[in-house]
Amino acid sequence: MENKKIIRPDSNTVKTVIKRSSQIDALLGEIIGSKDMQLQAAQDAAQRLYDDRIRRALEKMDVEHINKAKQGIRISLLRKAGVLNIWQASQLSFRRICDIDGLGEQSAYKIQDIVEQITQNTKNTIRIRIEAENPGEVDDALIRALAVLIHSRPILEKCEVIYKENHTQLQQELTLVKKALSAVGWLFRSRATKKRIAEALESLSERLCGELGSNALFDSWTNIKETPVKTWWEDYRRNASIYYAELENLGLNWKNQDAAPGGLPAELAAKIEALKLDLRYLKATLRSYQTFGVKYIVHQKKTLLGDEMGLGKTIQAIAAMAAQAALGKSHFIVVCPASVLINWCREIQKFSALSVTKVHGNDEEALLYWRENGGVLVTTYESISRFRLPEKFKISMVIADEAHYVKNPDTRRTKALLRLLEKTDNTLFLSGTPLENRVDEMCFLVSCLQPDIAKELEAVKYLSTKEQFRQQLAPVYLRRTRDDVLSELPDLIEKEQWCVLCEQEQKAYKDAIMSENFMSIRQVSWQVEDLKNSSKALRLLELCSQAREQKRKVIVFSFFRATLRKVAELLGDCCMEPITGSTSPQRRQEIVDEFTKAEEGAVLVSQVQAGGTGLNIQSASVIIFCEPQIKPSIENQAISRAYRMGQVQDVLVYRLLADDTIDERIMELLKNKQIQFDSFADESVVGTESLKPSQAAWIGKMVEEEKKRLLEIQKA
């Protein structure tokens, strides 16, 4: 057997393997090598847009601005020479100014100095915005460059791994296999060499049959390069915060914006900024102010993060846990209201590599699992009073969401939380509610974190000015507002609000599923007689209350009139007259005008199709969907009523969703684009949907699968 002749491989097979292996290796190298080019393209596009915005701003300034410095410049001479605005003046050379009749060298020096000052002031104060409504070529170029940078990153990372695992050996194997191309050369090869050539060919063939030879990555790469800019604009509108985070990370420093506003002393801010973070376990890109917030949390150890609603307190908390995990910490606890329990679990899973254990009620088994395995335990204020942890057990970090829930030291929940805090060196309180004017509440919360600072506050709390109070709070309290940190086009921030059904809701939902009435099924949680038993209604009340605290106005959308009636009754006087399909266009606009003039905290309720087109509602910056909509474009149209030109606040979009119901399936379909949705007939007047056969088919299948799932659970 040892002397068996080694037959020369088929020439065509060898050529095919060599060609395919070489092409893939070269393509991988090309993709990896494009990383710097993509970054440079994005930086160049950003710089062009910045220059364009500066130019346009200066073009709008009449040349008369030069005389505001009262230097006695004869502006009429500039106008006569065709210089009508500051931009044109900024393009004049010293010699060109001197050549204008009536202007000498002294005037030229003055003009250049004044124009330079105006230009610099403009650069320091201008709000650079990407124009999504009527984008120009520079906007298109920047959106495309940023989109390619964002969406190609996971492909690049995967290609780097594959290249690293294969390149060196692949090149060695190619060198050997090429020796099989010559029939004459093969005759004079030693047996050992022939054997190595055959093994190399077999190895290359196996590589091509595996991940290396898959076209999926390369197809994705090609698709990204060929995607039309219109598609990237749609992606931008859905994920504006991701694009702006990427823009900030380009390092161009468009605006000399303090990443750490909130009254921090410069010395403390510098120490925090110098902190290095290891965010290997985070699956998100942070804005610069969010990165500073995470550094603040980690550096100060026991803090209260009071960022305004919509600035990402949750993602900063998750990033802080990820940073601690990178340092070897293993056991984290998030304590939150029951209404956001599922939300926290999903956000941690989505944005980090940390494992999640949910404990609701007296779930000792789950608590024991977390103690043994670590990760993030997410629980409620009511549940922690039942916790039994070993005396010497250490918690890596405790996060208390909506920390104003524990403002009263005598309540059971507060005492239970304080017992937990004894077991950790790292505590984070979260609250978007402004606390500066609630001095006693603030002092108590600070005492839970840093008692020494609380004692100092108690001594001067009624004597200090607001600024002095904030300065004393700086080591423990960080609060940024939208105006502090968002100076570009307002963000569109979309959040899924997952609600856990109570027993009555579950019964109503099961009845709807068994009836196979899709319209009834979609109204999950809103069908209970008493809305005190509706988890969605309770969450909606909380969101509206938060919006009122933040001086925001709210639009509540639902497809169903019955749901809107219940919402209007629930909200009472702060709610405007509902807009439905039967509301005349004139009355619709009157309601919107009344809403615009109303005080902060006002709520407009509307059928999603009736209010989703033709209305401008920029005065609202919070949008709540009572149920997932079937067609993405219906939601987009509704959102665009508030998220449009003239909007000065970032727009928060909340979708009320019921956990472990058909809501999950609908959201999954929408996200994965597994179904191409046709247009529904607009029958909002009667509040029903007209379904085409293809639509009815997938809806029927979804309902049938959900019915089968519930029956299996019932049997078990």
Per residue in 534-550, pLDDT tens? 999 999 999 999 999 98
Say if residue 577's pLDDT is above 50. Answer: yes
- Report pLDDT for 7: 87
Question: What confidence score (pLDDT) does residue 463 get?
Answer: 53
What pLDDT does 671 receive? 67
**Mean pLDDT, range 468-488, rounded to an integer:** 77
Say which range, 199-208, 240-249, 269-278, 549-558, has the weakest mean pLDDT.
240-249
Whether 695 has a pLDDT exceeding 60, the answer reads no
Q: What is the pLDDT of residues 273-327, one digit of tens each?
A: 999 999 999 998 898 889 999 999 999 999 999 887 767 899 999 999 999 999 9
In this prediction, residue 462 has a pLDDT band, given cuts at 50, 70 and 90, of: low
Per the confidence metrics, is the pTM higher than 0.75? no
Lowest-confidence pick of 101-115, 277-291, 309-323, 632-646: 632-646
690 strand-pairing partners: 681
Q: What is the dihedral of CA 702, 705, 707, 709, to 10 degrees?
A: -140
Q: Rounded distance, CA 591 to CA 583, Å? A: 10
What beta strand segments (E) does 432-511 contain? 477-478, 492-499
pLDDT score, position 632:
74
Stretch 503-522: mean pLDDT: 91
Domains of the chain and any CATH numbers: 1-252 (no CATH), 259-485 (3.40.50.10810), 492-715 (3.40.50.300)
- Pick the residue with more confidence: 552 or 242? 552
pLDDT of residue 652: 92
- The region of weakest confidence among 192-206, 556-570, 657-671 is 657-671
Overall size of the chain counted in residues: 716
Q: DSSP characters for 88-99?
A: HHHT--HHHHHT
Following DSSP, what letter does each residue of 620-640 receive, concatenated? Answer: --EEEESS--SSHHHHHHHHT
SS3 per residue for 575-606: ECCCECCCCCHHHHHHHHHHHHHCCCCCEEEE
Section 482-494 average pLDDT: 70
Question: What is the Cα–Cα distance from 516 to 510, expressed in whole angstroms?
Answer: 10
**Burial annotation 428-455 (CB, 10 A radius, 16+ → b, else e):** bbbbbbebeeeeebbbbbbbbbbeebbe
User: What is the number of alpha carbons within 13 Å of residue 715 lying toward its C-beta?
Assistant: 6
Please report, rounded to a whole number, the percentage of residues in the chain having pLDDT higher than 70: 88
Higher pLDDT, 441 or 554: 554
Residue 49's pLDDT is 92
Per-residue pLDDT, 439: 73
Judged against a pLDDT cut of 50, whether residue 673 lies above it is answered with: no
C-alpha 229/C-alpha 41 separation (Å) is 15
Please give the Cα distance from 531 to 529 (Å, whole number).
6
Give 209 or 464, the one with higher predicted confidence.
209
pLDDT in tens, 360-403: 888 889 999 999 999 999 999 999 988 989 989 999 999 999 89
pLDDT at 648: 52
pLDDT class for 259, splitting at 50, 70, 90? very low
Where do the H-state alpha helices sit in 178-333? 183-187, 191-209, 216-226, 229-238, 240-248, 266-273, 288-300, 313-326
